[in-house]
Amino acid sequence: MSEEIAVIGSPDFTTGFRLAGVRRWERVADDDKDADLDDAVEAVLEDDDVGIVVMHHDDLEYLSREMKHAVDTSVEPVFVTLGSGAAGGTGLREQIKRAIGIDLMEEEGDSE
């Protein structure tokens, strides 16, 4: 299983992760996301060392249909989106379930 964490996004988004020790990142300028975001996601998908990819939820709208499908269906690496309420409630719960294959938040008697 791949262990590297990667982050994709604007310089403002990636800087905090880099300071926290994330060594793999793809910066995408805010003024050219349409052209560069697909390339950044593809580069990370092709990196066998990456197991988790972090992106800002709003950046998903800039992906082509094919690349959005690749992100949505990718199991390894798993894509985790942050921001715009994406990490709240069931969104984060579903991302965790997809990433590790079990529901850590399931309460006893909860039959989801």
CB 26 within 8 A of CB 67: no
Closest CA to 62 of 24, 14, 29, 95: 29
Q: Specify the length of the chain in residues.
A: 112
pTM: 0.75
14-64: pLDDT as tens digits: 998 899 899 999 999 878 787 799 999 999 999 999 999 999 989 999 999
* Strand intervals (E) in 1-112: 4-9, 24-27, 50-56, 78-82
pLDDT at residue 89 in the model: 46
pLDDT at residue 32 in the model: 76
Confidence of residue 87 (pLDDT cuts 50, 70, 90): very low
Q: Which fold has domain 4-100?
A: Rossmann fold (3.40.50)
Backbone dihedral angles phi then psi of residue 54, each to the nearest 5 degrees: -110, 130
- Phi-psi category of residue 102: left, alpha or beta, with phi > 0 → left and psi -120 to 50 → alpha: beta
